A = this chain, B = another copy of it.
Amino acid sequence: MKMNAADGMNYAPVGEKKAVVKPGEFVFSVCRLDHGHIYGMCNALTEAGATLKYIWDPEPERVAHFLKMYPQATPAESEAQVLEDKDTMMIAAAAVTSERGPFGVKVLEHGKDYFTDKAPFTTMAQLEKAKETVARTGKKYMVYYSERLHVEGAIMAGYLIDAGEIGKVISVTGFGPHRLGAGNRPAWFFEKAKYGGILCDIGSHQIEQYLHFAGEEDATVTLARIGNYGHPEYPELDDFGDCALTGKNGTTNYFRVDWFTPQGLRTWGDGRTLILGTDGFIEIRKYINLASEQNGGNHVYLVNGKGEQYFDATGKTGFPFFGGLILDCLNRTEKAMTQAHAFKAAELCLKAQEQAVIIAP
């Protein structure tokens, strides 16, 4: 099982337990442990009060590892058993990226909501099929855009924007560098048809953040570049990508993603988000403050007419999305995230990848 050693692949924050439901009120099961994000997804759902029932994966070793973390789960005998289970209201999954769409459609067809690791699709056809299935079944196809939903610094930034601290948002810039840790990645991670390309994969986080922070419902891809600058041994790996979007309301976005985090960084990536508004700006240093003795991440800087302020968001906001998702599923509402938003981020990351100009080698 190659899942633990690659930093970032194993990003699974532990938050405060803040149950929005009583035990048994919201039951979910887990299938497909291809990406370590499943642990972050399960942490957050169970902290929010969800009850975990089944775990299924074709590899017994991965199931055994999962059960160490979640001894309350019951190993299922087959994927069909989970899909047909009457108690399970949602299936959470972190399949190989190219299988997330087809599996999600199957989940919806079985009358369950679906919560998948990002990126949720690798092709536009998968997205279209999922849209059609959501429309027909009324079920949810939700996505774990962890770099906002599971980062307290990002949650706090959203609150500051909502409170009007920087006026109207003009531009959002994101940096999503990741450590490759190639030796600990599975083979599919380097096959473009399976991982989808860098703008589709880790770019999806960036696009979701942009739409959220800028309050945009739609945008156009105005620049997309990909390259392999340093990894000829993995010819299908985009080790670099960048992209710009122009929002329907006239806001702008640029982001850069890469697999070049050097060994000397104390964490898997120096993720940043810079948000410019008419009355101020925000910087989120998500996972580290470079060369600082401050531990951990969630460093939020706010500058406006009142001065420069620093907030350590760790332990301050929690992760409200996950409880919200549970309630949305129970009440058939869209308070935590709309289906349109989850799909729009997916659509734009697919478009970015499709339109990308290859600039290296």
Which A residues have a C-beta under 8 Å from some C-beta of B?
167-168, 170-171, 173, 175, 177, 222-223, 225, 227, 229-230, 240, 242, 244, 246, 250, 252, 254, 256, 258, 260, 262-266, 270, 274, 276-281, 283, 290-291, 301, 303-310, 357, 359-361
Q: What is the CB-to-nearest-CB distance from A355 to chain B, in angstroms, rounded to a whole number?
A: 12
Q: Take A254-B254, A265-B303 as given contacts and tell me if A260 and B229 are in contact as well, using a CB distance cutoff of 8 Å.
A: no
Q: Take A242-B254, A254-B254 as given contacts and tell me if A264 and B306 are in contact as well, using a CB distance cutoff of 8 Å.
A: yes
Q: Is the CB of B222 within 8 A of A303?
A: no
Q: Take A274-B175, A283-B290 as given contacts and tell me if A305 and B359 are in contact as well, using a CB distance cutoff of 8 Å.
A: no
Which residues on the B side are within 8 Å of A360 (C-beta)?
170, 250
Q: Is the CB of A359 within 8 A of B264?
A: no
Partner pick for A171 among B167, B168, B222, B242, CB 8 A cutoff: B242
Q: Is the CB of B246 within 8 A of A359?
A: yes
Question: For the complex formed by this chain, how many copies does it contain in all?
Answer: 2
Partner pick for A270 among B244, B281, B290, CB 8 A cutoff: B281
Q: Is the CB of B171 within 8 A of A256?
A: yes
Which residues on the B side are within 8 Å of A167 (C-beta)?
230
Which residues on the B side are within 8 Å of A290 (C-beta)?
283, 301, 303, 308, 310
Q: Is the CB of A305 within 8 A of B262?
A: yes
Q: Take A242-B252, A244-B244 as given contacts and tell me if A262 and B303 are in contact as well, using a CB distance cutoff of 8 Å.
A: yes
* A-B residue pairs, 5 tightest by C-beta: A291-B310, A264-B307, A223-B223, A291-B308, A230-B278
- Residue from A227, A240, A262, A357 with most neighbouring chain B CB atoms (10 Å): A262
Q: What is the CB-to-nearest-CB distance from A309 to chain B, in angstroms, rounded to a whole number?
A: 6
Closest to A311 in B: B291
Q: Take A171-B240, A242-B244, A242-B252 as given contacts and tell me if A270 and B223 are in contact as well, using a CB distance cutoff of 8 Å.
A: no
Q: What is the CB-to-nearest-CB distance from A5 to chain B, in angstroms, rounded to a whole number?
A: 18
Q: Is the CB of B265 within 8 A of A308?
A: yes
Q: Take A240-B170, A240-B171, A301-B291 as given contacts and tell me if A264 and B308 are in contact as well, using a CB distance cutoff of 8 Å.
A: yes
